[in-house]
Each structure stands twice: as C-alpha cells, then as structure tokens.
Chain A
Amino acid sequence: MADELDLVIEKVSNPSLLDTFSRATKNYDSTDKLRANREEILLTQTIQDAKKNRTKIYQLRDRKTNIVIGLVALSASRLDDKPALLIDYIFISNDYRAKYSGVKYAELLIVYAFKQGLKLQKEIGLTNLILYPDGENKSLVSYYKNNYGFIEIRKKVLIQNKQKNEKWLYLPLKDK
C-alpha cells in the first residue's frame, strides 16, 4: 500500500503568498485550454477578494512535500434572506485531481466547509452551505447532488433582456 499522506487544511493568513501558486500554469487543467483559462481567472479573482477580506481561503497542503494541493474560499452570504455560508471557490491543482491521483481531494474541502458551517452556526445564525457550480456544468451539478446530497435551487436572472435560471446548490447545516 502507498505511504500515508500527511495533509493539513489551514487558513491562509497572507493571500499574497498564493500569487505564485495562481501564476503556475501547471496547476490548471492540462487538457482543456478554455477550462484552464476559466480556472486561472476565477482563482486570481478569489485571491484578490481574499486580499480585500471579502473571502477567506483555506488551503489543503501536503505536509511532507509542502505542496499546496488545493483550496476553498468561504464567505458570509444569504439564501432566501437567511444567513448562510458560501463556498466562493474550490480549486484542486491539476495533478491532484481525482482522474490523475485517484483521490477526491475536493471532498475534504467540501466536508471541511460543512464542518466550519456547523461550528459557526453555534456562534452566529447560519442555515445553509451554498455554492454556485462553475458554468452550471451539468456533470458538476450531478456530482455534487449524487455524492454529497446538495439540493438544487434556481434563481431567475435577466441576461441580455432574457430571463434565465441560475442553478445554485445548497446543503442544510443540520447534523441530525
């Protein structure tokens, strides 16, 4: 059996330290340039928002190699006008995605976000954990629903004078 992985999820207190990480093209999708470009745009924006204290980034790091495997960004938000915890962005570096590594590292970050939601709920009002799946990608939406029990909710929005539905996903912050 392969060696045990020694991982840590920790808050990034200085988001500028992630600038180098976000500039490393090897971290993005190696097979789809368009997707890689989207990922870079979103990660750069997330880091910028973290610098302005609009979101907090938690990184998943391999303690043996000191390599950052991925990150999740969390912020306060509202769903149905009730306080909620929002996953702004989840990112896993290309080589560590399940199709290459065989390990669903994103799962650790999703469950960690849920755990943080439950913990915060004891201190402040929070009802749900929410996220917006990038591009409302059908397979991504199904993945979140089937593997973690996320529930879909639609928001009516006007885009170029046409009414459309944005697909959001939420998990109730309940432990029984």
Chain B
Amino acid sequence: MAYKIVNKKVVHISPPNNLTPYQSRKIENAKAPTKVLNLLDKMQQQRFEINGRRIRLSY
C-alpha cells in the first residue's frame, strides 16, 4: 500500500509488475546489498555507534 499524493489526495499505488525481460533479469540477478548487510551486522551487536552517538538497540 505505497502512497502517492495527487492533487492533495492520497492515492494507493502498487510496485511495478509486467516488467520487460531486461528489467526482470536485472531484478533476478541483483547482488546481495553489501552496505545494508554491513549495517545489519553492526545493528545485531545491539550496542553500536552511529555518527559518533552510542546506541543500545533492542527489537
């Protein structure tokens, strides 16, 4: 249920489907997102720093 504001009203929009073969291949072959995986590693330590600020995180 992603949102878009059109003429000051919220419209629900859906992600792309019926893509071209090139777009489908691009999605299929996309590599693991290293940057997010590195951040996830950090976050899983539960005590870490972001921009010099010490953070304790639970979830």
Contact = CB atoms under 8 A, between A and B. Distances in A.
Query: Is chain B found bound to chain A in the same assembly?
Result: yes
Interface of A: 1-10, 38, 41-42, 45-46, 49, 54-55, 75, 77-81, 84, 86, 88-89, 98, 102-104, 107-108, 110-112, 114-115, 127-128, 130-132, 134-135, 147-151, 153-155, 159, 166, 168, 170-172, 174-176
A108 B23 CA distance: 29
Nearest to A10: B59
Given A4-B56, A41-B10, A108-B43, A75 B1 contact: yes
A43 to B, nearest CB: 10
Contact of B15 (A6, A9, A38, A79): A79
20 contacts: A4-B55, A5-B53, A5-B54, A8-B57, A10-B59, A78-B15, A79-B27, A80-B23, A86-B15, A103-B55, A114-B36, A115-B43, A128-B30, A132-B4, A135-B5, A148-B35, A150-B33, A154-B16, A166-B16, A170-B30
- By size class, the interface of chain B is 35 or more
B3 A42 contact: yes
Given A151-B30, A155-B16, A166-B16, 5 more contacts: A49-B1, A75-B1, A151-B27, A153-B26, A166-B13
Interface string B29-44: 0111111110110010
Nearest to A146: B35
A7 B50 CA distance: 13
Contacts of A149: 33-36
Nearest to B42: A111
Given A7-B56, A110-B36, A104 B10 contact: no
B14 interface: yes
